[in-house]
Amino acid sequence: MTSPSIGTGPGRALLAVYGLFALAAGARATVQILTRFGEAPLAYSLSAFAALVYILLTVALARGARRLALVALFVELAGVLVIGTASVLDPAAFPEATVWSVYGRGYLFIPLVLPFVGLYWLLRRR
């Protein structure tokens, strides 16, 4: 079942931020994979995965697909927490930063805050 109301009002700002992150992370990962993949394949692959999650979230929010958005938000949150922690505990494994490295430090920690905002918005709009 779809609920168009999740992408309206303040949800439009959330939709715009996810769209921007999808574009930024996707462009960054594409350039890195095409030009320097051998330098840090794990980091660049994880950035591409983050971009796919952001694309999925953008589409889910735009279409009002609440369940899909919730699943994607939990995947995003798990990714930020797991990759963030791994990059702090073993920085050598991440010679290049990913979108979610050090909990999104390269993106002003927005990747850490964003899933909580998204979950709040979706659960509040129930």
pLDDT values of the chain reduced to their tens digit, one per residue, 126 residues: 444 567 667 788 999 999 999 999 999 999 999 999 999 999 999 999 999 999 999 999 999 899 999 999 999 999 999 999 999 999 998 888 889 999 999 999 999 999 999 999 998 866
Structure confidence at residue 73 (pLDDT): 97
d(CA 88, CA 120): 27
Structure confidence at residue 63 (pLDDT): 92
Structure confidence at residue 111 (pLDDT): 94
